[in-house]
Each structure stands twice: as C-alpha cells, then as structure tokens.
C-alpha cells in the first residue's frame, strides 16, 4: 500500500461491496445523525446501490469517500469524505468519522495526516475546510491541534432537536 494512503496504524482505501454491513450500521446509528445531518435511515438496497455506483472519481462525482482501516488487519474504524469538491478553486469540505469504539486512540489524527497528504500532494487541493458545532469540543480540538484555523462562526447554523446551534468554520490552507 502506498505511503500516501497508509502508515503503520491506519490505511485509507476505496469502498468495497464488503463494506455494506459496516456502512449500514454506521449510517443508521441515530446517535450520529446530529453530527452528520442525516434525517432518515438508509436501506441496505440504497447503500448497495451507492456502493455499486461508487467510482472513487472525485472529479466526476465531486465527492470521495474512503474507508479508514487498521493497517495490520484491515478492520474498518471510520470514514473520511471529501464533499463539495471544487476543482476550479482547489478546495473541498472534509468529513471525518471514527466509530465510537475506536475513538480516543489517535486514529482520527492519523487519518487526517494521510488524508491531508493525499489532498495536497495527489489531488492538488489548496485548502480543506470543515464545519464543526461549537459544542463538539473534542472534534474542534482535534482539527485545531492539527493546524486548522477558525475562519468564522455561523450563527444558529444547525438544528439539533428543537434548538439551533452555532458552527465554526475551520480551514487548512496549504
């Protein structure tokens, strides 16, 4: 596996049909919907169709999802996403998910390291950006410690239950 997408601990790889059950479990975990903007459950059929249509071509689909796995045994631990890819301005929104049982082990940071190298050195992006709710202190700390800068606060940007919450816009410019 290329050093661009892998280190001794984590590997970023393309989605495979064998990821169906894992994606189904993660996408339908209602506890995660508040940070993923998911409004309804996904069917196995919808996810299967997504996996069948998935090309991994960020230029054609304007997005890219990669599975984060443990390098030693291939265990899936999360996903990373490039969303809203803008090839004209060489930027993309970033999404990062680490499954609950794997949090707090440094895997998110290591995935960010590999993803950043891939974005900068292979795709040629100039910047990555993320939107993080201000009450998600762990995620804010991860991205700020990694070198992302707060560029602004979007007031009452996301609805969680019956309330709206502020969101920080963070950027990493290469």
Q: Which domains does the chain have, with CATH numbers?
A: 10-125 (3.40.630.30)
Phi-psi region of 94 (alpha: psi -120 to 50; beta: other; left: phi over 0): beta
Provide the percentage of residues in the chain whose pLDDT is more than 90: 81
Q: Which residues of 96-112 are buried (b: 16+ CB within 10 A; e: fewer)?
A: bbbbeebeeeebbebbb
Residues 86-107 have a mean pLDDT of 96
Q: What is residue 10's predicted lDDT score, i.e. its pLDDT? A: 98
pTM: 0.92
φ and ψ at 89, to 5 degrees? -100, 5
Residues 56-63 have a mean pLDDT of 92
Residues 42-52 have a mean pLDDT of 91
Report H helices in 28-75: 33-36, 44-53, 58-61
Question: What is the 3 state secondary structure string of 133-146?
Answer: ECCCHHHHHHHHHH
Strands, E, within the chain: which ranges?
Answer: 10-14, 64-70, 76-86, 91-98, 127-133, 149-160, 163-173
> Sorting pLDDT into bands at 50, 70 and 90, what band is 130?
very high
> Sorting pLDDT into bands at 50, 70 and 90, what band is 134?
very high
Closest CA to 154 of 139, 168, 140: 168
Q: What is residue 1's predicted lDDT score, i.e. its pLDDT? A: 52
**Residue 2 pLDDT greater than 80, yes or no:** no
Closest CA to 52 of 94, 17, 93: 17
**Residue 31 pLDDT greater than 90, yes or no:** no
């Amino acid at each position: 596996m290329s050093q661009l997408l892998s280190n001794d601990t984590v590997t970023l790889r393309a989605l495979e049909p064998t990821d169906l059950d894992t994606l189904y479990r993660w996408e339908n975990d209602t506890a995660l919907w508040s940070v993923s903007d998911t409004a309804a459950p996904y069917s196995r059929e919808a996810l299967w169709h997504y996996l069948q249509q998935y090309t991994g071509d960020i230029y054609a689909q304007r997005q890219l999802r990669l599975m984060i796995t443990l390098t030693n045994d291939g265990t899936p631990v999360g996903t990373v996403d490039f969303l809203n890819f803008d090839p004209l301005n060489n930027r993309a929104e970033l999404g990062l998910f680490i499954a609950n049982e794997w949090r707090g082990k440094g895997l998110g940071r290591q995935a960010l390291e590999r993803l950043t190298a891939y974005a900068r050195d292979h795709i040629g992006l100039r910047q990555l950006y993320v939107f993080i709710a201000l009450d998600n202190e762990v995620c804010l700390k991860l991205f700020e410690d990694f070198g992302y800068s707060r560029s602004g606060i979007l007031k009452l940007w996301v609805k969680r239950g019956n309330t709206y919450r502020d969101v920080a816009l963070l950027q990493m410019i290469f």
